[in-house]
Amino acid sequence: MATRPRDAAEADDLLDRFERCVIPLEAWTHHTHLSVAIAYLRRLPLDAACDAMRRGIMAFNATHGIESRPDGGYHETITWAWMQVLAVVLREAPATADADAILERYPALLEKRLLLRFYSRDLIMSEDARTGIVQPDRAAFEEGLDR
């Protein structure tokens, strides 16, 4: 029951457990979010990966009683933006690199506040950003990553 998959089989297992909403809430960490997102991006085109992540997080939240509110729960732009950032990283990462290797190469991904490189706080925390996709107002995703 790894939440840090080291190979394709473990990544498949993580996705299966995520989609069945059986990952314990305490194991749903930032690292696990990123591992799931990377697994989707390795298997699906970007738009489909974003849709799968959105559906999965909403189902996971519902299973665990997490309600969407103005100050918490599912956030559309945050989900979408993380997928965009990871897609940029994966274009440069070796195809065989697992999530841990990618996060080691790009330690900025472990910063939960990374999106503030791309978005002003007011914009990312707005109701428009919570309920829909808003474009970054500070930097393009390709420009704001440490390489």
pLDDT, tens digit, for every residue of 68-82?
Answer: 887 788 999 999 999
pLDDT value of position 2: 60
CA dist 89 and 75 (Å) reads 22
Q: Hey, where are the domains in the chain? A: 8-131
What's the pLDDT tens digit per position in 10-64?
A: 889 999 999 999 999 999 999 999 999 999 999 999 999 999 999 999 999 999 9
Q: Which two tokens stand for residue 64?
A: 């665990």
Of 92, 93, 74, the residue nearest 33 (C-alpha): 74
Q: Across residues 88-102, what is the average pLDDT? A: 90
Q: What is the pTM of this model?
A: 0.92
